[in-house]
Amino acid sequence: MSDPFLRMVDVRKRFPGVDALKSVTLEAYAGEAVALIGANGAGKSTLMNVLGGVIAPDGGYIEIDGKRAAFRTPAEASRDGVAFVHQELALMPTLNILDNMLITSFPRRKGLIDYRAGEELCRNALKQLGYDFPLRTRVRDLSPGDQQIVEIARTLLGKSRIVIFDEPTSSLTSREKERLFEIIRIMKSRGTAIIYITHLLDEVFTVCERAVIMRNGAKVAESRIADLTRGQIVEKMIGSQEAVAYFQHHERRPGEVLLTVEHLNREGFLDDVSFTLRSGEVVGLWGLLGSGRTELFRALMGLDPIHRGRIRLHKPGSEVVDLSPQRAHSVMGMLTEDRRTDGLLLPMSIRLNMSIANLKNLLYRGWPFVYRAREESVTREYVKKLNIKSTSIEQRVATLSGGNQQKVVVGRWLQTKPLIFLLDEPTRGLDVEAKAELHAIVANMADAGAAVVIVSSDLDEIMSLSDRYLVMVRGRIVKEYSALATKHELLATASGISAQAEGVG
Amino acid sequence: MAAKERFTLGRFLLSYGFVLTLIAIVVLCSIASPAFFTFKNALFILHASAPTMILATGVAFVLMTGKMDISIGSTAYLSAGVGIMLMVHAHMSPLPACLIIFAIGALLGAVNGFIVVVLRVNPLITTLGTFFTFRGLALQITNSLTISIPSDLGEFGSIRVGPFFLDTLIAGVVLAAYHLVHTRTVFGRYVMAVGNGVDVAQKVGVPVDRTTFLTFVLAGLMASVGGVLTMAQVGSISPSLGQGYEFTAIALLVIGGVSLFGGEGTILPGIVLGALTLTIIQSGLNFVGASPFVYPLVRGGIIFVAMYADSLKNAVARKVRLIPE
């Protein structure tokens, strides 16, 4: 094989608390697609953000076509022919196709935009992909697949020699996917180097020639696709030692049914979701990013509309009732994915953050005034129970560490004594110690009789906590596993591969 | 392929509601008062709405980037106030005085732009602050007095070219120039790109800060032009010059289809339609003999409806799906 067109050598990056990239080397060749595979948090995105000029590396260097390159901004990267097709498209919905494609590169004549030349450019770029859109259509009126075509066509306007696709199929129909693969084939035949990031292994075999597999910020394998099986890839992604490790997990006996969800449907997000929750169990809701995990939580909490289906609450000692969105808050507590923006009132004190969901129980003898002494004693009780490290209950939440912030949110919901806890990535960004503490808290919730549903991108975490798993793919619950499920099964099911058919594990 | 928008009554009303309202108002007023639907009255309406139309045009780009400027009325007063002091006390001739007024307007806009872009202060708070300080400064400079413009400028407000008032034509030129900038220059496209979200615009490589700064400078400049025209129409400046202009301007923009969420709207015909709707309603109420105290009530109602329609339009749009259809 000829010399690599792109070489990233010994690239290192450290974020506070984690080595995001530990000396990673990546090569890409002209006319070839290399798959970059890894679980969430393996370092794929960080590596690509270094290449795209979004993140500055701590060490290492980049060579393009034999020449050293260092990008400080995305604009510099694109000038040197590195184009990025983002998972979340960088498009401006109220502008039309032409404006979106040309926004930073309008052809000009006498200071005015030369629309005739611009149309020519756009039409040519789209034609290379086999499309002929009316260029004055607003981008927000296009389907997600067509929007992506516009974003890809934009990379063809410049002289992009390296194109990075970040999970490009996550919002495409199967026909649109075929189309995308065909486009990638065309780009390869023109000598473009493609870097293809994905979780979905089927696509790797269709699109790519080579695979680079990452785990925990390091490259763990590199091979020609033809020499790999799906089973091997999965094993490399999760690590062979860990794959056999048995998860110590204490047995719980689930109690009565608390909640039944029947044929829940939210158009575009949730598709015929049914399941039950019992008191005293921890259910792991496992799926890839964008599979609808967060959306399911939001629907249960009554934050998003439900188009079809019902949610039934079996409150102990009373009749089975439909759970209205208004009542959801009184029986469920939710930890949001991003506690800083969704969950916490950062400039306010621990006391105010923790009492806010429970104020009606802290009133002074039914008067509409908060009983300050009660509020303080209850706050202290939970600060102690959850071992929140702080100088006083009046400390501003913004000044707490991530783990303690998360415990403040937990304490807020514990006060309301919910029957059901929904935890969305509860330990994201926390250090090991804080994670362990939160795991203990989760186990206590279930032992105290609550039903807990946990979403996490960290498979180890989910496996160490759950009594049962629900696996989501594209808005559906496709399979349920008992506590005995293996990592292989869970990962393969979520990646859209039937475990039996492939014989993994 | 592009999804063809299905025709629904709701969507039709959202898009053309104000044109329909405008026609309905004209018809109603014409029936109620035969003198309303005359060429002479039409000319007067265009004359009366010229200054606010120019102020609105100036602030349009600010709104299209998703930001806000409520200081333009005060900017009009302060820049015109300095100008009239120069003419009256320093006996400066009108033309250089006007140039200085425009320069001050642009400078005041640059102050807003600096605070928003460099100091990162919320635009509404920024311009609320300058709304008071600019007017306060102007009151100091003019001693809070009503000052008549020098006699050689006295006729300016009633100069006609053909049947049209001069300020109507000036407004026309400003609108045409802005329309060109908006539709045919890179700056115009950048304004809309920023209005679609600062993050995406930055990711794509749009110079967000420079674009935002420039929109504020232009808003200040146009405010001073509007200030000069008002001064000429009235024949003097008084402490209330420009008062309420900012809200009229923003209201007529929203009526004309500019979204407060940014990234949406046109200069032509949007601003003209918005301005005509507001002015015609006022003039119509006048003709049918309504009490002047009804105006604010009616105007408030219209603004509310326009804002509500704007928020409806945004609720309909911008939805991303996870599961493909």
The residue written with tokens 């999965």 in the block is A234
Chain B's closest residue to A133, CA to CA, is B1
Per DSSP (E only), the strands in A429-467 are 451-455
pLDDT at position B58:
95
Number of Cβ within a 10 Å radius of residue B286: 15
Distance from CA of B68 to the nearest CA of A (A): 19
Q: What ipTM was predicted for this assembly? A: 0.83
Q: Check: CB of residue A43 under 8 Å from CB of residue A216.
A: yes
Distance from CA of A139 to the nearest CA of B (A): 9
Largest CA distance in chain A: 81
β-bridge pairing A210-215 and A33-37: parallel
Q: Check: CB of residue A450 under 8 Å from CB of residue A461.
A: no
pLDDT at position B325:
42
Indicate if the pLDDT at residue B262 is higher than 70.
Answer: yes
Chain A's closest residue to B64, CA to CA, is A94
Number of Cβ within a 10 Å radius of residue A262: 14
| pLDDT confidence bin for A240, thresholds 50/70/90 | low
In the numeric block, which tokens belong to residue B98?
A: 């006007």
Whether A251 is in a domain gets the answer no
Q: Check: CB of residue B225 under 8 Å from CB of residue B52.
A: no
Number of Cβ within a 10 Å radius of residue A279: 20
Domain shared by A223 and A315, yes or no:
no
Domain coordinates of chain B in residue numbers?
50-310
Domains identified in chain A, total number:
2
Instruction: Tell the CATH topology of B50-310.
Output: ABC transporter involved in vitamin B12 uptake, BtuC (1.10.3470)
The single-letter code of the amino acid at A464 is: S
pLDDT in tens, A111-137: 899 999 999 999 988 988 788 899 999
pLDDT at position A319:
81
Largest CA distance in chain B: 72
pLDDT at position B9:
67
In which domain, by residue range, is A108 found?
A: 6-244
Distance from CA of A337 to the nearest CA of B (A): 17
Q: Which of A30-39, A187-196, B24-33, B267-276 has the lowest mean pLDDT?
A: B24-33
Q: Check: CB of residue B3 under 8 Å from CB of residue B11.
A: no
Domain shared by A44 and A149, yes or no:
yes
Domain shared by A290 and A316, yes or no:
yes
Cβ-based contacts of A170 with chain B (< 8 Å): 322
Whether A505 is in a domain gets the answer no
In the numeric block, which tokens belong to residue B208?
A: 């967000």
Average pLDDT over residues B117-134: 96
Bridge partner list, A469: A284, A481
pLDDT in tens, A50-103: 898 878 899 999 999 888 888 887 778 888 888 888 877 788 988 999 999 998
**CATH number of A370's domain:** 3.40.50.300
Chain A's closest residue to B204, CA to CA, is A90
Measure the CA–CA gap between A19 and B268, rounded to whole angstroms.
55
| pLDDT confidence bin for A501, thresholds 50/70/90 | very low
Q: Which of A410-424, B172-186, B208-222 has the lowest mean pLDDT?
A: A410-424
Q: C-alpha distances in angstroms, A356 versus A163, A297, A346, A424, B75?
A: 48, 21, 13, 20, 43
β-bridge pairing A82-85 and A162-166: parallel
pLDDT at position A327:
81
Q: Check: CB of residue B66 under 8 Å from CB of residue B129.
A: no
Measure the CA–CA gap between B247 and B72, rounded to whole angstroms.
9
Question: Of A335, A286, A289, A356, nearest to A438 (Cα)?
Answer: A335
Query: Which 3 state secondary structure label does DSSP give A384?
Result: helix
pLDDT at position A345:
83
Question: Of B53, B56, B23, nearest to B284 (Cα)?
Answer: B23
Query: Which 3 state secondary structure label does DSSP give A478?
Result: strand
Half-sphere exposure of A391 (CA within 13 A, CB side): 7
Number of Cβ within a 10 Å radius of residue B200: 19
| pLDDT confidence bin for A141, thresholds 50/70/90 | confident
Sheet strands side by side (includes A270-278): A270-278, A257-266, A308-314, A320-322
CA dihedral for B271, B276, B281, B283, sign (positive or negative): positive
Run of H or E residues at A330: helix A325-331
Which of A 229-268 lie inside 8 A of B, CB atoms? Answer: 267-268
Question: Of B84, B117, B145, nearest to B207 (Cα)?
Answer: B117
A481 secondary structure, DSSP code: E
Whether A362 is in a domain gets the answer yes
Which of B 277-296 lie inside 8 A of A, CB atoms? Answer: none
Higher-pLDDT residue of B239, A366:
B239
| pLDDT confidence bin for B138, thresholds 50/70/90 | very high
pLDDT at position B233:
87
Whether A205 is in a domain gets the answer yes
Average pLDDT over residues A390-395: 88
| pLDDT confidence bin for A339, thresholds 50/70/90 | low
End residue of a domain, out of A244, A268, A288:
A244
Cβ-based contacts of A74 with chain B (< 8 Å): 203, 205
Indicate if the pLDDT at residue B52 is higher than 60.
Answer: yes
* Rg (alpha carbons) of chain B, rounded to whole number: 20
In the numeric block, which tokens belong to residue A5?
A: 């067109």
In the numeric block, which tokens belong to residue B238?
A: 């008084």
pLDDT at position B154:
63
Higher-pLDDT residue of B56, A254:
B56
Class of residue A250 by CB neighbours under 10 A (exposed 0-12, middle 13-18, buried 19+): exposed
pLDDT at position B5:
47
Whether A123 is in a domain gets the answer yes
Chain B's closest residue to A52, CA to CA, is B203
Instruction: Choose, out of A48, A86, A103, A170, the residue to mutate when testing the contact with B (most B CBs < 10 Å).
Output: A103
End residue of a domain, out of A207, A223, A244:
A244
Higher-pLDDT residue of A396, A339:
A396
pLDDT in tens, B291-320: 888 888 887 887 787 777 777 766 654 444
In the numeric block, which tokens belong to residue A172?
A: 């495409």
pLDDT at position B153:
66
Q: Check: CB of residue A355 under 8 Å from CB of residue A415.
A: yes
SS3 percent helix, strand, coil of chain A, rounded to 5, is 35, 25, 35
Chain B's closest residue to A176, CA to CA, is B324
Whether A1 is in a domain gets the answer no
End residue of a domain, out of A244, A272, A294:
A244
Domain shared by A226 and A263, yes or no:
no
Domain shared by A158 and A282, yes or no:
no
Instruction: Choose, out of A78, A92, A474, the residue to mutate when testing the contact with B (most B CBs < 10 Å).
Output: A92
In the numeric block, which tokens belong to residue B23?
A: 């026609």
Average pLDDT over residues A248-276: 85
Distance from CA of A364 to the nearest CA of B (A): 38
Question: Does residue A96 belong to the interface with chain B, where contact is any CB pair within 8 Å?
Answer: no
End-to-end CA gap in chain B? 14
Higher-pLDDT residue of A345, A96:
A96
Distance from CA of B154 to the nearest CA of A (A): 39
Q: Check: CB of residue A254 under 8 Å from CB of residue A423.
A: no
Measure the CA–CA gap between A403 and A148, rounded to whole angstroms.
38
Measure the CA–CA gap between A45 and A32, rounded to whole angstroms.
20
The single-letter code of the amino acid at A223 is: S
Average pLDDT over residues A451-477: 88
Question: Does residue B315 belong to the interface with chain A, where contact is any CB pair within 8 Å?
Answer: no
Chain B's closest residue to A473, CA to CA, is B323
Nearest to A269 among B186, B192, B323 (CB): B323
β-bridge pairing A59-64 and A67-69: antiparallel
Distance from CA of A145 to the nearest CA of B (A): 9
| pTM of the shown model | 0.73
pLDDT at position A17:
61
Domain shared by A231 and A264, yes or no:
no
Question: Does residue A302 belong to the interface with chain B, where contact is any CB pair within 8 Å?
Answer: no
Average pLDDT over residues A379-398: 88
| pLDDT confidence bin for A432, thresholds 50/70/90 | low
Question: Of A290, A296, A305, A249, nearest to A277 (Cα)?
Answer: A296
Question: Does residue B185 belong to the interface with chain A, where contact is any CB pair within 8 Å?
Answer: yes
Higher-pLDDT residue of A298, B10:
A298
For chains A and B, count residue pairs whose Cβ atoms are closer than 8 Å.
Answer: 104
